Structure 1
Amino acid sequence: MQLLDHVSIGVPDIEQARPFYDAVMAALGACKVYDRPTALGYGERCNADDTASTCLAVYLDPTEVGTSKRHWCFKAVSREQVDAFFEAGLSTGGQSDGDPGLRPHYHGDYYAAFLVDPAGNRIEAVCHAAPPAPLTRNT
């Protein structure tokens, strides 16, 4: 069961947020579904024929973000996607809140990276899958 239909993240400067979220969402394979002067959307929006999709909205909110333990976590299909998410975020104004790596205190294959966006929101990408088994050659 996918629990979330959509989630919204507020930012005080949409122009500053746009390159950051464009980059990290592209690294995770999420397409942009809208780009407005006061809001950005990524993922797939649900409709009557597709009730399983999820969408992220980034919207203009002049309120200061401030320090918070609240964060948003996005699924990655591979550890390489987690790494790409992290590098994309750093290269577009984000700050590290935890380098890519295993977090075995969650479970043995929990591979994640944590970023703080330019506004101060905390985001994460996680891959729950074990790494692919190495190929073996028969001799």
Structure 2
Amino acid sequence: MTTLPGLGYVTLGAEDLAAAQAFYDATLAPLGLRRLHEFENWTGYGREDDPGGQTIWVCKPFDGAPAQAGNGVMIGFYAPTPDVVDAFHAAALAQGGACEGPPGLRPQYGEGWYAAYVRDPQGNKLACVRTPPG
């Protein structure tokens, strides 16, 4: 039996795909994620060096109902340094995102935990976290 590694993809709904693309193009760039896939009403982000790897999809909902952010749902991205967390947060705000927690240490989660929290223009909550090595 073959075991697949970890998470394959995440899908986030967006009513205004052009606005979502502008937001995610800028916000995911500091993490090394870029737009790799596009087709009608769908945009996929991933790593250029791993095009078949994990993907973040942004799309209009398939069922045609309005896109809505999930209460209690948050997508977290790991960052290699606090500077990347800062860049993620700044890019998100510059593209119309809302701050849900500025970059900084979060000792309540552990020593050295550095994170920032934002909402995209659709209301989806995102985190960017630099955890200490080990």
TM-score, normalising length: structure 1: 0.81
Give how far 1:68 is off: 1.2
Question: Which blocks of at least 5 consecutive residues in structure 2 are unaligned?
Answer: none
Report the Cα offset of residue 34 of structure 1.
1.4
* Helix, strand or coil at the partner of 1:105: helix
Q: How far apart, CA to CA, are the structure 2 residues paired with 1:68 and 1:22?
A: 24
Q: Which residue of 2 aligns with 1:107?
A: 110
Quick one: structure 1 residues 45 and 5, their matched pair in 2 at CA, closer, same or farther if it must change by over 3 Å?
farther
Q: Counterpart of 1:103 in structure 2: which amino acid?
A: R
Correspondence 1:93 to 2:96: yes
Tell me, in whole angstroms, the C-alpha distance in 1 between the residues paired with 2:31 and 2:105.
18
- The runs of 5 or more residues in structure 1 that have no matched partner are 47-52, 131-139
Matching of residue 17 in structure 1 with residue 29 in structure 2 = no
What residue is the counterpart of 2:84 in the other structure?
Answer: 81
Residue 135 of structure 1 is matched in structure 2 by none
Give the count of matched residue pairs: 124
| Equivalent residue for 2:8, pick from 5, 8, 20 | 5
Three-state SS of the structure 2 residue aligned to 1:56 is strand
User: Which amino acid in structure 2 is aligned with residue 70 of structure 1?
Assistant: V
Query: Matches of 1:79 and 1:107 in 2, distance apart?
Result: 15
Q: What is the alpha-carbon distance in structure 2 between the residues aligned to residue 38 and residue 4 of structure 1?
A: 23
Question: Cα offset for 1:67?
Answer: 6.3
The answer as to 2:44 corresponding to 1:41 is: yes
Letter in 2 for 1:109: G
Provide the residue aligned with 2:132 in structure 1.
Answer: 129
Q: What letter corresponds to residue 56 of structure 1 in structure 2?
A: I
Deviation at residue 115 of structure 1 after TM alignment: 0.5
1:65 aligns with 2:50: no
In 2, Cα distance between equivalents of 1:7 and 1:67 = 13
Correspondence for 2:56: 56
Matched residue type, 1:59:
C
- Change over 3 Å in CA distance of 1:39–1:67 after alignment to 2: closer
CA drift of 1:89 comes to: 0.4
What TM-score, normalized by structure 2, do the two folds share?
0.84
Q: Which residue of 2 aligns with 1:119?
A: 122
Measure the CA separation in 2 of the matches of 1:56 and 1:84: 19
Secondary structure at the aligned position of 2:43 is classed as: strand
